[in-house]
């Protein structure tokens, strides 16, 4: 049994207000092409299909293009996906029973009533059956009618909620730990004994205050593989077979340099699990460039760039405009703050050799000032200096 593990597509996301739909279409085309080549038995997407609960028409169109491409080229492949915390559960859940007849399982809502259970898709191979348990992002309040409350009548914790959900599946004979089981889930799973503060989180993630949404990985024990979503950096969740595959693209500057790709998982007999990363190469990289404006402009690129300027003086608007033309996918320009000693030494005044307030202000303003404004500047400086200035 071979399947692809993907998550956190975040279709419609904007990077520093840059539209990424072209980049996302490029990477989704790669996924379709790779699926055609490898012909997996199943493809699972572990949540955050969209970046917003109400996605744009363009984002929905792109997702339709992606799923249509997969089903066209892989008619026998089972496509399984769940909603994440960015998605609208009800919107993802629409036409759920209709789509499953086409081997497409879009699960937006977790079990919420006594007669409902975690969606289970059973596939067969030469070693027997594999149960895929599709659990969308869960808040304790959503499944309160099933898991109950704590001793004080309040919602159970995220950790206790997941424990009770999986225990219920075992007790009611739907989850058999001795068989091969795969969990597809979108939660913050924390290895036992690990501090949540030690887990590196990306700027593009939503992090709860106090990490109240953390769930111990001990609840994953019944599963041979856990296809996890929510964490944007590819990482293990304790064991090698419990994985966050990460985003298919860099969705923040701190994700630059990460190896993005599809996790291809193969299950053989019970306990035999192997994984390999099938690389995804973006249309544009995300980069950080640091230096003076002149130094930076010597390395033009079409990549997404965050520029950190080290110029000792104010950067005139004309130079900023040249930077924008040199880097068509510029994300932002920030100035590197001098250290304390530079401030105490009066960095620019010392380096420029200028001490006259008027000259320093002129450099700050640049060429934008009109003659009448400069006259007003002279007047203000003279008044501040008690009428004794030399400007």
pLDDT tens-digit profile of 96-140? 999 999 999 999 999 999 999 999 999 999 999 999 999 999 999
Structure confidence at residue 28 (pLDDT):
98
343 confidence band (pLDDT: 50, 70, 90): very low
Average of pLDDT values for 225-241? 95
42-46 β-sheet, strand order: 104-107, 78-82, 42-46, 2-6, 261-267, 273-279
Q: Shortest CA distance to 127 belongs to which of 271, 4, 274, 275?
A: 271
Structure confidence at residue 367 (pLDDT):
58
The length of the chain in residues reads 391
Structure confidence at residue 25 (pLDDT):
98
Average of pLDDT values for 17-35? 97
Report the chain's terminal Cα–Cα distance, integer Å.
Answer: 81
**Strand 14-15 with 2-6, pairing:** unpaired
In DSSP terms, which residues pair with 215 in a beta bridge?
A: 189
d(CA 181, CA 242): 12
d(CA 138, CA 185): 9
d(CA 125, CA 113): 32
Average per-residue pLDDT for the chain:
89
The burial of 348, by beta-carbon neighbours within 10 Å (0-12 exposed, 13-18 middle, 19 or more buried), is given as middle
Structure confidence at residue 142 (pLDDT):
94
Question: What is the sign, positive or negative, of the torsion defined by CA atoms of 166, 189, 50, 130?
Answer: negative
Check whether 42 has a pLDDT greater than 50. yes
Structure confidence at residue 339 (pLDDT):
54
Structure confidence at residue 342 (pLDDT):
47
> Can you read off the two tokens belonging to residue 274?
């192997």
Q: Shortest CA distance to 92 belongs to which of 112, 102, 114, 107?
A: 107
d(CA 194, CA 213): 14
Q: Shortest CA distance to 3 belongs to which of 47, 45, 40, 46?
A: 40
d(CA 217, CA 239): 9
Specify the higher pLDDT residue, 363 or 284.
Answer: 284
């Amino acid at each position: 049994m071979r399947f692809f593990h993907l998550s956190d597509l975040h279709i419609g996301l904007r990077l520093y207000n840059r539209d990424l739909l072209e980049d996302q279409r490029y990477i989704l085309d790669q996924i379709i092409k790779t699926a055609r080549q490898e012909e997996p038995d199943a493809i699972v997407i572990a949540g955050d299909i969209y970046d917003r609960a109400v996605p744009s028409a363009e984002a929905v169109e792109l997702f339709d293009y992606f799923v249509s491409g997969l089903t066209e080229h892989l008619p026998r492949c089972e496509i399984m996906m769940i909603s994440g915390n960015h998605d609208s559960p009800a919107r993802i859940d629409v036409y759920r029973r209709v789509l499953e007849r086409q081997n497409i399982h879009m699960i937006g809502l977790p079990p919420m009533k006594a007669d409902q259970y975690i969606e289970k898709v059973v596939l067969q191979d030469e070693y027997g059956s594999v149960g895929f348990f599709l659990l969308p992002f869960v808040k304790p309040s959503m499944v309160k009618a099933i898991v109950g409350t704590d001793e004080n009548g309040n919602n159970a914790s995220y950790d206790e909620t997941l424990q009770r959900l999986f225990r219920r599946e075992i007790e009611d004979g739907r989850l058999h730990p001795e068989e091969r089981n795969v969990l597809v889930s979108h939660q913050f799973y924390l290895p036992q004994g690990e501090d949540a503060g030690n887990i590196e989180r990306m700027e593009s993630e939503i992090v709860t205050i106090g990490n109240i949404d953390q769930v111990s990985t001990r609840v994953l024990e019944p599963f041979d593989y856990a296809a996890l979503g929510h964490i944007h950096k590819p990482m293990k969740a304790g064991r090698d077979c419990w994985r966050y595959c990460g985003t298919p693209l860099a969705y923040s500057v701190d994700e630059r340099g990460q190896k993005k790709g599809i996790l291809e998982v193969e299950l053989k007999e019970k306990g035999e699990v192997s994984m390999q990363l099938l690389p995804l190469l973006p249309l544009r990289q995300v980069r950080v460039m640091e230096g003076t404006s002149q130094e930076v402009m010597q390395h033009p690129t079409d990549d997404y760039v965050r520029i950190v300027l080290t110029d000792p003086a104010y950067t005139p608007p004309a130079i900023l405009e040249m930077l924008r033309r040199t880097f068509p996918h510029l994300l932002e320009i920030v100035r590197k703050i001098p250290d304390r000693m530079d401030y105490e030494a009066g960095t620019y005044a010392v380096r420029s050799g200028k001490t006259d307030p008027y000259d320093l202000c002129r450099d700050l303003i640049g060429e934008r000032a009109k003659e009448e404004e400069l006259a007003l500047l002279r007047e203000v400086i003279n008044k501040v200096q008690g009428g004794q200035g030399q400007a």
